[in-house]
Amino acid sequence: MASWIDEKVGRFGFGCMRLPMTDGKVDLTVTSEMFDRFLTSGLTYFDTAHGYLGGQSEVAVRECLAKRHTRDSFFLTDKLTGNFFKRADDVMPVLDSELEACGVDHFDMLLMHAQGSGNYGHFQECHAYEQAREFVGAGKARHMGISFHDRPEMLERILDEHPEVEAVQIQLNYEDYEAPAIQSRRCYEVCVEHGLPVIVMEPVKGGNLVNLPDDAQVALDAIPNPEHLSNAGFALRFAASHPGVDMVLSGMSDMSQLEDNLTSMLDPRPLTQEQIAGLAKVHEALASKGLIACTACHYCTDGCPERINIPELFNCLNTKHAFGDWNAAYYYNNVYTTEGHAKASACLRCGKCEKACPQHLPIRELLVQVAEEFE
């Protein structure tokens, strides 16, 4: 394991961005059951952030994990997000408020969140990296790193300017491996070149690699599968098969997803070259659909003045294109564009969504396509 992990945590982490929800609230009962099952399996790594689930994620960590288990029984990662501080004096209060929200006296890992050209300057101007080091020095975090959403050249710059970084969290999956907008492979290689352990986020691409179109599923079913891996299992194992990847995260919203992922990741043996070649054929089938590469992280919706449910509308369009699903139009008109949430045509083209999008999607133009399809 990497030097920044002092105890055995396994190679699979519980991402707390997609917890079980009931009526818009985190279901604390189910979440507690899932956290307990995760810990009894021998895994201990949990990942959250101040803005996840509108602030509910950290509270769930407090109620379902910190209050119910001893602090030395779990490894907790939290993040410093740029839109929660405006000036240097705000940084430490934000970090302290995150500790309080999670109900802990320290984080095991603190990540500078979603680093890239759009917000790195803000972090620099507010001396966020320097203050993160002070936070570690005060014993309020054990280690610091970054989560990253940008081009490999930008990653090179950040790592060169901040040798104190101990780990890098990147998006890596077989669909984005060579994608020009994400460049997962090259970002991974930059981490390896700097001798830094890699934490993987979005290995299943927000669930998009679970529910595959028919021809992509046929390609996946043709892959030799002696371990009976699920669609998610293949995606998780692809990420874990890379040397230097020390942690693979997955957001899970019910117990069946957790059990499936545990089957794949308690003993994550590397995929064979034949299996990896098979996943390349799955990628080709997906690429032929021209689907919108949205992972439903919802970063885009926080600042939308029209409260457009952007990921959900993109999912409607993807569903229509991939499956010809007539239900997509129903959901568009009767579920995702009601109760104060505008239709795609209401977009003001302010561009706030595109600045926040970790996938670098041309959201404004894509919303035009959504409107043309459903309005």
> Residue 244 maps to which CATH number?
3.20.20.100
What are the residue ranges of helices labelled H in the chain? 28-40, 56-61, 88-102, 120-125, 128-137, 152-161, 184-193, 214-221, 231-240, 255-265, 273-287, 310-323, 327-334, 352-356, 363-374
Q: Which of 257, 287, 317 is the last residue of a domain?
A: 287
Q: How many angstroms separate the CA atoms of 311 and 105, rounded?
A: 35
What total of structural domains would you count in the chain? 2
Identify whether 114 is part of a domain: yes
Q: Which of 252, 287, 322 is the last residue of a domain?
A: 287
198 shares a domain with 157: yes
Helix, strand, coil percentages in the chain from 3-state DSSP, rounded to 5: 45, 15, 40
205 shares a domain with 165: yes
pLDDT in tens, 114-163: 998 889 999 999 999 999 999 999 999 999 999 998 889 999 999 999 99
214 shares a domain with 333: no
Q: How many angstroms separate the CA atoms of 234 and 105, rounded?
A: 37
303 shares a domain with 280: no
18-22, 202-206, 296-300, 358-362 — most confident range: 18-22
Q: How many angstroms separate the CA atoms of 216 and 56, rounded?
A: 35
241 shares a domain with 368: no
226 shares a domain with 118: yes
Q: Which of 287, 314, 331 is the last residue of a domain?
A: 287
What pLDDT is recorded for position 291? 83
* Residue 326, pLDDT above cutoff 90: no
Burial 266-299 (b: 16+ CB within 10 A, else e): eebeebeeebbebbebbbebbeeeebbbbbbbbb
Pairing of strands 107-115, 168-171: unpaired
Identify whether 66 is part of a domain: yes
What pLDDT is recorded for position 92? 98
Give the DSSP letter of residue 118: T
What pLDDT is recorded for position 8? 62
Identify whether 4 is part of a domain: no
Identify whether 293 is part of a domain: no
Identify whether 85 is part of a domain: yes
305 shares a domain with 283: no
Identify whether 170 is part of a domain: yes
The residue type of 184 is S
349 shares a domain with 218: no
Identify whether 367 is part of a domain: yes
Mean pLDDT, rounded, for 250-259: 97
Q: How many angstroms separate the CA atoms of 103 and 63, rounded?
A: 8
Q: Are 76 and 48 in contact (CB under 8 A)?
A: yes
213 shares a domain with 314: no
327 shares a domain with 256: no
Tell me the residue range of the domain where 360 lies. 299-374
- pTM, full prediction: 0.85
357 shares a domain with 313: yes
Identify whether 281 is part of a domain: yes
325 shares a domain with 274: no
Q: Are 45 and 77 in contact (CB under 8 A)?
A: yes
Q: Which residues pair with 148 in a beta bridge?
A: 115
